[in-house]
Amino acid sequence: ETGVTQTPRHLVMGMTNKKSLKCEQHLGHNAMYWYKQSAKKPLELMFVYNFKEQTENNSVPSRFSPECPNSSHLFLHLHTLQPEDSALYLCASSQDEVQPQHFGDGTRLSIL
């Protein structure tokens, strides 16, 4: 148990669907992150939240929309995704933005 829980673990959706990924941490951390992991590519940092404020958006397409209602929860809202968006989406948290990160086990997303 890493203290970071992601749901669902697997998600299959069509390109016209709307779905949300959820991340929850019980570690009292202030920073939360979304990453995209594709096969044989570096882990891509998508969004960073610090004290519920978005501090970084790495040129992510608008079809990905993050939400951080409080410091323990992070969502990634998905709509009209493309096949190349199929990947493992990882959530992480840390005390601050350079401290060790604790990762969830990810959501495996497949776009049909």
Measure the CA–CA gap between 31 and 101, rounded to whole angstroms: 9
Q: Which listed range, 12-20, 69-77, 79-87, 103-111, lies at the site for other proteins (CB under 8 A)? A: 103-111
Token readout for 105 is 């086990």
Give 45's strand partners.
35
Residue whose C-alpha is closest to residue 14's, from 70, 67, 79, 61: 79
Select the residue interacting with other proteins from 68, 74, 81, 103 (CB under 8 A).
103
- Based on the shown chain and the rule CB under 8 A, indicate whether residue 66 belongs to the binding site for other proteins: no
Contacts with other proteins by CB under 8 A lie at: 2, 4, 6, 31, 33, 35, 40-43, 45, 48, 50, 55-56, 90, 92, 97-98, 100-106
